[in-house]
Amino acid sequence: MIETGRPIPEVAEELGVHSGTLHSWVSRWRRNGSASSDRPSEPVPGGRMREAERAELERLRRELSEKNKRIRELEMERDVLKRCMVLWVK
pLDDT value at residue 63: 96
The more confident residue out of 31 and 75 is: 75
pLDDT, one tens digit per residue, over 7-25 is: 888 888 888 888 888 888 8
Domain boundaries, the chain: 1-42, 48-90
Of 30, 7, 33, 12, nearest to 22 by C-alpha is 12
User: Residues of 50-63 as b/e, b for ≥16 C-beta within 10 angstroms?
Assistant: eeeeeeeeeeeeee
pTM over the 0.85 mark:
no
- In this prediction, residue 36 carries a pLDDT of 36
pLDDT tens per residue, range 36-50: 344 445 555 566 778
